[in-house]
Chains A and B, each alone.
Chain A
């Protein structure tokens, strides 16, 4: 069964600190992997997208890595800000015309002053 698992479930860090979120997946055939940020009460917003051949992708203070061999990805947030408080969702796309996405349950990040 295609699955996406994320860890930790929740995380509290102090403003200005760095953190790393983990994602493991078993989706096959694999098309791409995305990280989304979902603020409370809002829809998810895409942060990064990586295909099979890409190892890393950055978007400002967000850097995602992908190891397609071990089927693992990480999202590193540098110099966290209060506005980074949100749920971060790892999403893996199956190959195929539907572009069907399989979502992890997310990591809830709280950045405290």
Chain B
């Protein structure tokens, strides 16, 4: 079956612009996570959605970062007024309720010039 998909696969933007990254989780997975992977760094947790509960936003690095999950499925991560330090691979993962394994998408490579 289809895995987690993300779009775009690559995004190059100018400093100060806003960007939107999209994640389509595996159908039926109620949990959705966003992570950031910077060069030479481990994955960094950003935000977690579980069903209709309020999201855990504790990993968002600044108020320029926000995320939505509409209809319990597709999620969008928005970065406003991008900075060069935002350049990274942004990974999305989904998990089926009652299980432990997170399934990752291929990521979106964001480059801020």
Contact = CB atoms under 8 A, between A and B. Distances in A.
Interface residues of B, number: 24
A49 B95 CA distance: 14
A41 B10 CA distance: 11
A105 B38 CA distance: 10
Contact of B40 (A32, A101, A105): A105
Interface string A23-38: 0000000001010000
B12 interface: no
A98 B48 contact: yes
A99 B31 CA distance: 10
Contacts of A101: 33, 43, 45, 102
B25 interface: no
B106 A42 contact: yes
B43 A89 contact: yes
A48 B56 CA distance: 26
Contacts of A41: 106-107
B67 interface: no
B22 to A, nearest CB: 15
Nearest to B109: A41
Interface of B: 4, 31, 33, 35, 40-45, 48, 50, 56, 91, 93, 95, 100-107
Interface of A: 4, 32, 34, 41-46, 49, 89, 91, 93, 97-106
Given A43-B106, A93-B100, 12 more contacts: A41-B106, A43-B104, A43-B105, A43-B107, A44-B91, A49-B101, A98-B56, A99-B48, A99-B95, A101-B45, A102-B45, A103-B35
